[in-house]
Amino acid sequence: MNKELLERLSNANGISGDESAIRNIIINEIKNSGAEYYTDNMGNLLVAKKGRKAPEKKLLVSAHMDEVGFIVSYITDDGYLKFDQVGGIDRRVILGKSVTVGKNVNGVVSAAPMHLLNSEQREAIPSQDGMYIDIGASSREEALQYVSLGDSIQFDCDFMWSGDIITGKALDDRAGCAILIEMINSELEYDTCFSFVVQEEIGLRGARCAAYTVEPDFAIVVESTTAADIPNVAQDKRVCCVGEGAVISFMDRRTIYDKELVDAAMSCANENVKVQYKQAVAGGNDAGAIQTSRGGVRTLAVSLPCRYLHSSCGLISADDYSSAYAVVTQVANKILSNSL
C-alpha cells in the first residue's frame, strides 16, 4: 500500500458536500493512468479504465470521498461558533476536540466548565446545544473576519503509522479511495468503471446518481465498518475484528447482499487472503443506493474493520487493507471473466 497517499487523503478535509480537496488529490493521482474521468453535477468523480479485455458485463467499484463533521450554523455576539452535525457522530466524542473551521482556522469544541455543573449535569452527556467552538475571537465581528455561516468543520487528528496499525481521521472512507486509486493505476485485466462519490454520510446521495449514470450490472462498494473488538464488549457484539482481514457483509440496514458474490468473496480465504464475516446486521453504505438503481445491480460490500468509526480518530490495520485490496481485485476478475 501507498502510505504517503493514504496519509494525504486522511489529512485532507472533506465533509459531506465539501469534498473538492479529496477529489483534487484523486485526480492528481490518476491523471497519468490512461483512465478517462469526469466530475458530474453532484461532485462525483466517475472513472473508466481500459483493461486488456472488454467484458460482457459492466462492473462499478465505488468508494465515498466524504467524512463526517460539522457546519457553522450561528456566531454568538461574543465570537463563539454554534454548529450542527454533518453525518452521524456520537456526542460523547465531540467535547474537547481540536477542529479546523473553514480553510485553516483552528478551534476547540467546548462547553460549560465541569466545576460549574451540578452532580446530575456532570454525569450526563452534554447536549450539542450546550456546546460551542472557541476560535479565540472576542466578538461576532472579529469571528466573521475568519469564518462564515456554512463553513465546514473537521476534526484534527495526526496521521500515524506504527507497525501494522494506522490511525487518522476519515479512514472511512479514504482507505477505500486509496484502494480504488491503486486499482486504477495498475494494469487491469478487464475494462472497469470506478466512482468516488460524495455525500454518503448524509444519505448515500452521490452513489445514487453515480449508479444511475454508469448503469452497472455488478458493483463492489469498498468502505470501512465498525470494529468493536474492544474491552467490555461481548464476543457476539464485536461486529468484526481489526487484524482478521477484509469484512464481508451478508446484510445490513440498507442492503441484503448478493449471495453468490458474498460466497465468492469468502472463498478468497482459499487463496490465503484473510476474510471475515460482518457479524451484525447493522449500519449501511452506498450499496443500499446502488443496488436499487434502475433495474437493480448485483452488489457486494468489502470493508476494512475500523475501530472508533465516526470519531476524531480511527484505527485500521495495514494487513486488513491489503486483504481488502486482494478481495476486491479477485472478485472483480471473477465477475468480469464470467466465472460466477
Residue 124 has pLDDT above 90, yes or no: no
302 touches 322 (CB < 8 A): no
What is the mean predicted confidence (pLDDT) over 205-222?
98
Task: Report the distance separating Cα 104 and Cα 101, nearest Å.
Answer: 6
Q: State the CATH architecture for 3-67+169-336.
A: 3-Layer(aba) Sandwich (3.40)
Per-residue confidence band for 20, with pLDDT thresholds at 50, 70 and 90: very high
183 touches 35 (CB < 8 A): no
Residue 189 has pLDDT above 90, yes or no: yes
> Does residue 215 come out as left (phi exceeding 0), alpha (psi in the -120 to 50 range) or beta?
left
In the chain, alpha helices (H): 3-11, 20-30, 119-123, 140-143, 171-184, 205-214, 259-266, 287-290, 318-336
15 touches 67 (CB < 8 A): yes
Task: Report the distance separating Cα 286 and Cα 303, nearest Å.
Answer: 12
Q: What is the DSSP string of 93-106?
A: GTTT-EEEETTTEE
Q: Which of 13, 30, 330, 18 is nearest to 168 (CA)?
A: 13
Task: Give catalytic status of residue 200 as yes or no.
Answer: yes
- CATH 3.40.630.10 boundaries in the chain: 3-67+169-336
Q: Which residue has the higher pLDDT, 125 or 210?
A: 210
What is the mean predicted confidence (pLDDT) over 96-120?
86
Cell numbers 460482457 correspond to 56
Task: Report the distance separating Cα 197 and Cα 176, nearest Å.
Answer: 11
| Cα dist from 142 to 75, 81, 132, 133, 149, whole Å | 10, 12, 16, 14, 14
> Cis omega before residue 77 (within 30°)?
no
Cell numbers 443500499 correspond to 288
pLDDT at 190: 98
pLDDT at 118: 73
Q: Which of 170, 26, 28 is nearest to 100 (CA)?
A: 170
Q: Which of 127, 126, 144 is nearest to 135 (CA)?
A: 144
Cell numbers 478487464 correspond to 190
> What is the sign, positive or negative, of the torsion defined by CA atoms of 278, 284, 286, 287?
positive
Task: Report the distance separating Cα 164 and Cα 238, nearest Å.
Answer: 20
Would you say domain 69-155 falls under CATH 2.40.30.40?
yes
pLDDT at 270: 87
Catalytic option among 200, 223, 244, 271: 200
pLDDT at 291: 97
179 touches 328 (CB < 8 A): yes
pLDDT at 8: 97
Task: Report the distance separating Cα 208 and Cα 211, nearest Å.
Answer: 6
**One-letter amino acid identity for 178?**
A
Q: What is the pLDDT of residues 131-177, one digit of tens each?
A: 999 999 999 999 999 999 999 999 999 999 999 999 999 999 999 99
Task: Report the distance separating Cα 5 and Cα 63, nearest Å.
Answer: 15
Q: What is the DSSP string of 220-244?
A: EEEEEEE---STT--GGG----TTS
Question: What average pLDDT does the structure give for the chain?
Answer: 95
Distance of CA 212 to the CA centre of its chain: 21
Q: What is the pLDDT of residues 291-315, one digit of tens each?
A: 999 999 999 999 999 999 999 999 9
Q: Which residue has the higher pLDDT, 254 or 124?
A: 254
- CATH 2.40.30.40 boundaries in the chain: 69-155
Q: What is the pLDDT of residues 31-78, one digit of tens each?
A: 999 999 999 999 999 999 999 999 999 999 999 999 999 999 999 999
pLDDT at 73: 97
Residue 117 has pLDDT above 80, yes or no: no
Residue 127 has pLDDT above 80, yes or no: yes
* Cβ atoms within 10 Å, residue 96: 11
Q: Which residue has the higher pLDDT, 91 or 328?
A: 328
Per-residue confidence band for 122, with pLDDT thresholds at 50, 70 and 90: confident
